[in-house]
C-alpha cells in the first residue's frame, strides 16, 4: 500500500487545545515548508504536575503561551524528541522559568557512528542543545496521572526519541512520523536504514494514535507505517531507475523525482535522496569515486 497524507490541519496559534483528558496542544507561530503549520508543543497531565514535550524554537511568546496553558499546575518534566531548531531551543528558557529539568537522548549527534565531512551537516541542527538528564531506550517517567515510556528511534536524527503515553496508548513521535508529509532523513545525522528499523520498532508497541510535533495526528499507526516503508522502497526504486536512465548527480535525481514538489523543498529532498544513496552505496548497489557526497557522481554498481 502507499501512504496517504493529510493536509487539512488547522489550529489557532498560542491557544491551548484540549486534545484528550491528559493531552493539551499549544501551536507555535512558526509555519514554514519544513514545519508545516508550526511546532505543536504538548502538555501531558490533567492533575497536579505536567510534562512538556518539544517546547519548540526560541520564541518567548510561545513560551508564555505554554506557561499560560499550564496555569497553576507545575511543569515538572521537559522532554525533547530531538535537537532541531524547531523543537529544542526553547527548552532552556522554559526550564529556567519552571525549574523543570530537560530530558533527552543527548546533544546533537549523540549516537551517530562514524561520519561524513562537517560541511555536510544539516542547517537545522541545534548544536547548543544540552539536556539536564540523558535518557535511554525504555526509560519510564511518571507524574500524578501519566506515564511516559521513552523509545529511542534513530533515523531522522541519531538522538531522536519517541514517548509513549501508556494511559491513553498515544505516542509522541516528534518528526519520526508525520501525517502531512514524509520525514526528511538528512545525513550525516540522519540514517535511512536506522529510520526503517525504528519505524518497525514503534509499530510493535501497543499504540492507538501517533502524535507528530507538526500537523495532524495519525489515527491508524500500523497501516500508515507500512505505507511509509513502502514509500521509502519506492523512492529507492526511483533512484535506481534514474541512474539506469543516465542520471548521475543528486541534483538531476531531485529534479526528476520531485518535479511536482515545491522547489523550496528541493534542498531537503536532496538530503533525503543522499540518505538513500549512502545506504545503497553501503550495500554495493550504487558506486561513486571516493566517499559518497552531495556533489559526487553516481552510477549503478557493476
Question: What pLDDT is recorded for position 113?
Answer: 65
Residues of the chain with pLDDT under 50: 1, 115-119
Q: What is the pLDDT of residues 49-95, one digit of tens each?
A: 999 999 999 999 999 999 999 999 999 999 999 999 999 999 999 99
The pTM score is 0.93
Those residues with Cβ within 8 angstroms of residue 281's Cβ, 6 or more apart along the chain or in another chain: 287, 288, 292, 298
Sheet containing 40-44: which strands, arranged edge to edge? 17-18, 23-27, 40-44, 50-53, 75-79, 102-104, 133-134
Distance CA 257, CA 236 (A): 11
Question: What pLDDT is recorded for position 116?
Answer: 45
Domains delineated in the chain: 17-228 (3.60.15.10), 230-300 (1.10.10.10)
Question: What pLDDT is recorded for position 2?
Answer: 62
CB 29 within 8 A of CB 14: yes
Amino acid at each position: 500500500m502507499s501512504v496517504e497524507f493529510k493536509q487539512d490541519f488547522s489550529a489557532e496559534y498560542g491557544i491551548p487545545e484540549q486534545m484528550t483528558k491528559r493531552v493539551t496542544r499549544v501551536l507555535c507561530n512558526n509555519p514554514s515548508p519544513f514545519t508545516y503549520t508550526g511546532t505543536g508543543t504538548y502538555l501531558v497531565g490533567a492533575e497536579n504536575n505536567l510534562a512538556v514535550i518539544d517546547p519548540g524554537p526560541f520564541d518567548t511568546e510561545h513560551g508564555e503561551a505554554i506557561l499560560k496553558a499550564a496555569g497553576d499546575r507545575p511543569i515538572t518534566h521537559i522532554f525533547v524528541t530531538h535537537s532541531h531548531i524547531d523543537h529544542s531551543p526553547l527548552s532552556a528558557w522554559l526550564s529556567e522559568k519552571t525549574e523543570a529539568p530537560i530530558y533527552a537522548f543527548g546533544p546533537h549527534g549523540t549516537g551517530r557512528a562514524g561520519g561524513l565531512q562537517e560541511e555536510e551537516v544539516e542547517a537545522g541542527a541545534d548544536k547548543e542543545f544540552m539536556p539536564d538528564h540523558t535518557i535511554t531506550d525504555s526509560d519510564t517517567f511518571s507524574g500524578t496521572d501519566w506515564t511516559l515510556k521513552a523509545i529511542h528511534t534513530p533515523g531522522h536524527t541519531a538522538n531522536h526519541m519517541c514517548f509513549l503515553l501508556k494511559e491513553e496508548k498515544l505516542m509522541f513521535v516528534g518528526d519520526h512520523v508525520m501525517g502531512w508529509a514524509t520525514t526528511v532523513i538528512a545525513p550525516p545525522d540522519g540514517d535511512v536504514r536506522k529510520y526503517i528499523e525504528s519505524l518497525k520498532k514503534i509499530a510493535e508497541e501497543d499504540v492507538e494514535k501517533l502524535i507528530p510535533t507538526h500537523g495532524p495526528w495519525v489515527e491508524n499507526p500500523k497501516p500508515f507505517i507500512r505505507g511509509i516503508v513502502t514509500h521509502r522502497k519506492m523512492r529507492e526504486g526511483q533512484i535506481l531507475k534514474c541512474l539506469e536512465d543516465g542520471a548521475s548527480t543528486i541534483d538531476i535525481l531531485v529534479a526528476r523525482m520531485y518535479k511536482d514538489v515545491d522547489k523550496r523543498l528541493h534542498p531537503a529532498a536532496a538530503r533525503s535522496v543522499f540518505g538513500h544513496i549512502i545506504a545503497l552505496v553501503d550495500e554495493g548497489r550504487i558506486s561513486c569515486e571516493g566517499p559518497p557526497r552531495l556533489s559526487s557522481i553516481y552510477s549503478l554498481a557493476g
